[in-house]
Amino acid sequence: KQEVTQIPAALSVPEGENLVLNCSFTDSAIYNLQWFRQDPGKGLTSLLLIQSSQREQTSGRLNASLDKSSGRSTLYIAASQPGDSATYLCAVLILTGGGNKLTFGTGTQLKVEL
Amino acid sequence: DTGVSQNPRHKITKRGQNVTFRCDPISEHNRLYWYRQTLGQGPEFLTYFQNEAQLEKSRLLSDRFSAERPKGSFSTLEIQRTEQGDSAMYLCASSQTSGGPTDTQYFGPGTRLTVL
């Protein structure tokens, strides 16, 4: 059974700091990995998707890396801002009987302080 | 329509009552997913449709839960005889298959269920 773990569970940083969120998964037979953002009481917003054949993806101040063989991914946020405060979830996509489903980690709750 | 919509956004019910949630996917998306998220946890897969066919159900989906997508467009998730343990955020997502497993899932805002 695929298990996804995120460390740390919570993180508080001052504005402007660069930070790294970690995600690990137990079964390397994934097709892709996604990082999502979730604001309190809201749905999920997809930030970055990395195909299993890729090593990293970048979008603005965000950079996600994937080491499939070791079952690890990181999300790097540069020059953090208070608006980045949210819960960040990673999820891996596996095939199931012709379809697909996402298996999520428990998230990292980020707070960026002024 | 620019995104996945879910109704209602919040539902409070008494234990033992039935509830039904609706999800409207992005137009022309042929895949629709239901997930459940409890406080402090990541979403967990419940079930998945391709067009009107329900292709997989998680063991989390007990016999009190039923999901439909009758015309391959919107979907409903019904919970019968609700229990306090059913209290959670129910998330819907949709995607458009591109012939491979890499289609991005777009999530709705969720329906928060509270069972008293």
* Residue B83 one-letter amino acid: E
Percent helix / strand / coil, chain B, rounded to 5 = 5, 50, 50
For the segment B18-41, what is each residue's pLDDT rounded down to a tens digit?
A: 999 999 999 989 999 999 999 889
> Which chain B residues contact residue A98 at CB under 8 A?
55
φ, ψ dihedrals at A75, nearest 5°: -115, 120
Cβ of A106 within 8 Å of Cβ of B102? The answer is: no
Say if residues A44 and B43 touch (Cβ distance below 8 Å): yes
Partner-chain contact B42 A32, CB within 8 Å: no
In whole angstroms, what is the distance from residue A111 CA to residue B37 CA? 21
Q: Which whole number is the average pLDDT over A43-64?
A: 93
| Contact: B31, A44; criterion CB under 8 Å | no
Chain A positions in Cβ-Cβ contact with residue B6 (cut-off 8 Å) = 43
- Per-residue pLDDT reduced to its tens digit, A63-82: 999 999 999 999 999 999 99
Q: Which residues of B touch A36 (CB under 8 A)?
A: 107
In 10 A of CB B87, how many CB atoms? 17
Residue A91 near chain B (CB below 8 Å): yes
pLDDT tier for residue A2 given thresholds of 50, 70 and 90: confident
pLDDT value of position A99: 61
Percent of chain B whose predicted confidence (pLDDT) is above 90? 72
Summarize pLDDT for B35-93 with one digit per residue, the tens.
Answer: 999 988 999 999 999 999 998 888 888 899 999 999 889 999 999 999 999 999 999 99
Query: Given A42, A95, A106, which is nearest B101 (Cβ)?
Result: A95
Cross-chain Cβ contact A91/B42 below 8 Å: yes
Q: What percent of chain A has pLDDT over 70?
A: 96
Q: Is B34 on the interface with A (CB under 8 A)?
A: no
Q: What is the pLDDT of residue B36?
A: 96
Q: Which of residues 40-79 of B touch A (CB under 8 A)?
A: 40-45, 48, 50, 55-56
The per-residue pLDDT of chain B, averaged, comes to 91
Region A106-112: what's the mean pLDDT? 96
Per-residue pLDDT at A97 exceeds 90: no
Q: For residue A98, which phi and psi values (nearest 5 degrees)? A: 95, -10
Residue B104's pLDDT is what?
A: 80
Indicate whether A10 pLDDT > 60: yes
DSSP string computed for B58-94: -TTS-TTEEEE-TTSS-EEEEESS--GGG-EEEEEEE
